[in-house]
Structure 1
Amino acid sequence: MIVRGNDRGLFAGDFLRSASAVVLVWLLYSGLRLALLPFLGWNPQSADDWTRLLEVRDWLGGQSWWDVSQHRMNPPQGFSMHWSRLVDLPLAAAIAVIGERWGMALVPLLWLLGGLFALRAIMLRLGLSGLAYGFGLFAFVLFPLVPGVFAPMAIDHHGPQAVMALATTAAMLSPLRRGALAAGLFAATWLAISLEGLPLVAVVAALYGLRYLGEERRLLPWFLLSLTSFALLLSLATRPNAELLGPWCDILLPGHITAFAMATLMAGIGPFLPFQHTPAGRLAALALVPLAALPTALVLLGPCAANPMAALDPVLMQWWHGYIGEGLPFWRQPVSTALMLVWLVVPLVGGYWLAGRGGGFADGAGGNWLLLFVLALAAWLYSLLVMREALIAQWLAIPFAAALLALLLPGARAIPSLVPRLAATLGVFVLATPLVVTAMAKPLDPLLPTPTMARGAAAPVVAGSCDFARLAGLKPGLLLTPMDDAPEILARTQHSVIAASYHRNQRPMVDTITAFSGSADDLRRIAADYGANYVAVCLSASDFALYRTAPGDNAATMLASDSQPAWLVPVAGLDGVLRVWRVAPDVTQQVRRAGTPAPRR
């Protein structure tokens, strides 16, 4: 065991290692979160959560399993979406049985339960002591990203993909063939939900190669066979053939699966080559895997082998993607967030070093500690480039934080003097998790603002929130509205919108941004081009405030100052924080006579 302290009693005994302890911790946490819902509200937390609700509603309402398009965005063409029905399945089932409100409340917590069981499997395979294991069960609340992603009403795909990453890791640590097969299944599901997991799945494959190189465990072919088979099955089961053969780069494609198959073939041949009894021979056999898979991927994927976001329109890069904090690297984050991302390496390295110091690993668990450390370190490096990957990195860091807490906290609590004891206790928590350093750095954020924080800084945000349900009283029509609030408007009303923030649909997104950040003439032209019935803005929305910082007499500032042109007719009762104007019926004809294109509809 890695902890040299007392391993007796409730908090260090067999109970904490049992499935019952996981369920008890989950019930206590879930009960608290659900009790807070009447005070926090029963609404989805973000635009993506609202859109996920729309996806499930549409499916339950009769939209095809194969069609995940949003048809009320830019009708009649609709918005193409890369989302997976796999995430819709549990949510749709829960909503069908217990209703929409409780379904959205419970499903994220059920994903959390899956994550905790995967974490339990990881900690058991590391041979943690009872004390360290106990810290590990509760430590997830000390990692800032985890509670929010698995909160009630947070129904986006980030939670499910993190659980698949944890399950892949737990299965990878198994020395058995069935563990490799399970890891391949979980990894394929992870990729079917989000292709962003591909770099870490590649690391998992490399770690299976490391096990073959050092221990001669022939598990890599079974992992790759399972990954290839289930990637093909899940793609065929959830994606229409036209999409698999289409222009999109943000989903699993035949090129990916063919590259997986080539890697499987080479990994299967490797153990039968000569000199496999030596490390050099095994290394040469392993080299065949990337030598076959990478050229296959490059040839078959073509431009899709690069970053899908590399082809974004410059307008979107300037006014949209550059302000989405979760997709940006650490050096473009607020100070507190950047420190949260960077600091995670402290419990990773500290926990690994302390756990192994003086032969402290449990018998036979040293290899698993090394595998987990390499994967967690890779996830941490990935998170420095793409902030949202920090969720997986934080989950994988929990066993290291638990080891660090178990090894250092008893000594800190044993200090007889009060002040040194409190300082040492706080110091241990500072080392073990990023929560304390993030909280301590929070006051620095406004002193060192970043672009992601400064959305609308030159045009202060109006106080108050917008009740988009009030729009339901208007005759259903097409709204030209900033993109962040568009999904909630769709969920609360029968209206349609021109655009929301989904990268496949660049032209409507660019036009929406241009309509508000450009001139009044741009606003009129785009409203007419799409045949919009209404222009609606929430003055407290951060994206609308951002458009007010555009140079010149931009349309957003004009609308906020009640100096709208005559072709926009204010809607009575909707002239506060939420402002709505009807587009005059003859504006389309006026713009056509001026020589603009015919409406897209």
Structure 2
Amino acid sequence: MPGSASFDWRAFAFRPAAVWAAWGLWCVVVLVLLPLRGFEPQGPDDYMRLFEVRDLLAGQGWYDVTQYRVNPPEGASMHWSRLVDIPLALVALFAGERAALIVVPLLYLLAALFALRAILRKLGFGALATGIGLLIMPMMPLLAEQFMPMRIDHHAPQAVVGLVAVALLVDGGRVKAALAGVLGAAWVAISLEGLPIIAAIAGVLGLAYWWHDDRRLGAFLGALAMAAPAFSLATRPVSDFALPYCDILMPGHMAAFAAAAVTALALPFAPAQQSRNGRLAGLAMIPLVCGPLAFVMLGECAADPFARLDPLLEQYWHGYITEGLPIWRQPLSVAAVLAWTLALVLVGWHRLRLGKSEAEVRPLDTLGLIAVLACLYSFMLMREGVFAQWLAIPFAASLLAEYLPKARALTSPLPRIAATLACFGLATPMFVSALLKPLDPVFASDTMRAGMDAPIDLRGCDLSQLALLEKGLVLAPLDIGPAILGQTPHNIVMASYHRNAEEMHDVLAFYTGSMEQGRALADKMQPDYVVACASKADLALYRTAAPDNMANLLVSGEVPDWLEPVEGFAEGPLSVYRVR
């Protein structure tokens, strides 16, 4: 029609409104699905984060993150940071708890999409690649679930903090490198799992100083060194640093950050820094100074705290947590996701470098190096694949933008459809994971195979029924404990939080051990009720320990006389007994 203006999607793809549109589309989809998923937190950590926020708003001390409904009256010791509680508490305070559960994960996603857009713009992506980059997140298998409503654990926010930091580094400049250092400090204050990535980023900036005389390393490390103790002291009491745990940022880490920062800031003024060899020799001083300092001050905490994990906890808890295991202990489909993500980064990085000038390649190389190191770290710790897949999105989007138009240009319908599907199949890890899923049992580790072979009752357990019973202390398998806290007024003996290794051991020993061992442990733990849910994977795994152990006796109903079946729970997968 004359005078009418058609919608220019290419121009729209470059506008901030494109981020809002992509985010709004995701919000519509997930909110439509929300009633099907339910309005309860999705996992144990989501429940426990909710309790932490509830307790804070109810008046529990800012520095006190102990969960007192677990292992009462002492409570369960937690190492979590209040930094993650802040957005949840603010939204809950002004809009209610349910709004916080729904809105906060979506706000994390919005921040991630804006950071992703900044990266795509800096790399000079065209309209098609930018649009694909903003929309492709649901096709990255490790990402979508992390940003669903009711998912409020700390994994999503720390990945977003890392992504924003990388976006600042890709954009360049010392001020932005300093801001990235502040975000890096927030990451390691939330979780020490971010420490290898922070070291990797420092290494990439060190390479830039060596090769290009790029002086952002000092700004990054200086901000990191100042912000790390600030975040730690703002969210933890000084007494925490004297506890016998190795799961938080310690003075040894902070001292190493400070030493690295001082050395990096002094390097440009050292002799022979005009040459690459001189700069390389100067950079070597950083690990020589920081390494011994960290090892001396950290002592045993310099080692992997899970290396000396109790064998029972390793076999029936940690060894079965897929997200905490290395790639060689993963099901084949999960290992393929991690490997495919690295392949996307390498192939996409190579394709993007072709024909680029040195100035254009430098931000691309910053992203590529950090993405490769993040992928390699995910090989050691699977859940870090969340961060790695965010960094892989630009490379996947570039490949799709290059090959998808060629596929769509085919004239024959069947080849065109096949080529289009192949583009998406090759440029995302989703399809390789789905194809290999049936082979997981064939290549499973011993622990995983035991879990796969364990007897599972397909009927779900309605834990809210426990609310009908008089309030008491419940001995339950570790994974369902937080849900019992969320859906009932009861307290629980313990849940899966590693600082409480002795209590966790007792729970596992109760379910996996003999009737006699169960009696002795029940006398020690003094529960009012013992619960077994035959539809949960953790109890099924416990049942594989021995045919006549407590887990099997509880499910079969052939319990010793010191356990009394509770009326109303005789049928179905949920078994409840009162301790006499």
The alignment's TM-score, normalised by the length of structure 1, stands at 0.93
Summarize deviations over 1:199-230 as a string: whole Å, max 9, x none. Answer: 11111111111221222221111111110111
Q: How far off is 1:272 after superposition?
A: 0.4
Does residue 1:578 correspond to 2:563, yes or no?
Answer: no
Does residue 1:543 correspond to 2:549, yes or no?
Answer: no
Tell me the distance in 1 between the aligned counterparts of 2:265 and 2:169: 18
The aligned counterpart of 1:239 is 236
Q: 2:511 aligns with which of 510, 513, 516?
A: 516
The aligned counterpart of 2:95 is 98
The aligned counterpart of 1:204 is 201
Q: How does 1:177-196 map onto structure 2 within 5 Å? A: 177-196=174-193
2:163 aligned counterpart, secondary structure: helix
The aligned counterpart of 1:12 is 10
In structure 2, runs of 5+ residues without a counterpart are 1-5
Question: CA RMSD of the aligned region, Å?
Answer: 1.6
Q: 2:401 aligns with which of 401, 406, 410?
A: 406
Q: 2:35 aligns with which of 35, 38, 52?
A: 38
Q: How does 1:445-456 map onto structure 2 within 5 Å? A: 445-451=440-446, 453-456=448-451
Tell me the distance in 1 between the aligned counterparts of 2:88 and 2:109: 14
Q: Is the 8 A contact 2:67 2:75 kept in 1?
A: yes
Q: How does 1:23-172 map onto structure 2 within 5 Å? A: 23-172=20-169
Q: How does 1:385-400 map onto structure 2 within 5 Å? A: 385-400=380-395
Aligned-pair identity (%) = 48
- The one-letter code of the counterpart of 2:490 is H
Does residue 1:566 correspond to 2:561, yes or no?
Answer: yes
2:560 aligned counterpart, secondary structure: coil
1:430 aligned counterpart, secondary structure: helix
Q: Is the 8 A contact 2:119 2:171 kept in 1?
A: no
Q: How does 1:157-556 map onto structure 2 within 5 Å? A: 157-357=154-354, 359=355, 361=356, 364-451=359-446, 453-556=448-551
Alpha carbons of structure 1 residues 173 and 459: separation in structure 2 relative to 1, 3 Å: closer
Tell me the distance in 2 between the aligned counterparts of 1:456 and 1:126: 45
Tell me the distance in 2 between the aligned counterparts of 1:10 and 1:334: 45
- The one-letter code of the counterpart of 1:12 is R
Alpha carbons of structure 1 residues 157 and 577: separation in structure 2 relative to 1, 3 Å: same
Q: How far off is 1:373 after superposition?
A: 0.7
- The one-letter code of the counterpart of 2:313 is L
The alignment's TM-score, normalised by the length of structure 2, stands at 0.96
Tell me the distance in 1 between the aligned counterparts of 2:301 and 2:345: 33
Tell me the distance in 2 between the aligned counterparts of 1:506 and 1:424: 52
Q: Which runs of 4+ in 1 moved over 3 A?
A: 8-11, 446-459
Q: Is the 8 A contact 1:127 1:362 kept in 2?
A: no
Q: How far off is 1:165 after superposition?
A: 0.7
Q: Is the 8 A contact 1:455 1:543 kept in 2?
A: no
Q: Is the 8 A contact 2:323 2:382 kept in 1?
A: yes
Q: How far off is 1:346 after superposition?
A: 2.2
Choose 317-326 or 16-25, whichever is displaced more. Answer: 16-25
- The one-letter code of the counterpart of 2:10 is A
- The one-letter code of the counterpart of 1:504 is R
Alpha carbons of structure 1 residues 515 and 311: separation in structure 2 relative to 1, 3 Å: same
Q: How far off is 1:542 after superposition?
A: 1.0
- The one-letter code of the counterpart of 1:97 is F
Alpha carbons of structure 1 residues 303 and 414: separation in structure 2 relative to 1, 3 Å: same
- The one-letter code of the counterpart of 1:272 is F
Q: How far off is 1:512 after superposition?
A: 0.4
Choose 184-193 or 215-224, whichever is displaced more. Answer: 215-224
Tell me the distance in 2 between the aligned counterparts of 1:383 and 1:458: 27
Summarize deviations over 1:16-42 as a string: whole Å, max 9, x none. Answer: 222221111101111211121112211
- The one-letter code of the counterpart of 2:416 is R
In structure 1, runs of 5+ residues without a counterpart are 1-7, 585-601
Alpha carbons of structure 1 residues 249 and 289: separation in structure 2 relative to 1, 3 Å: same
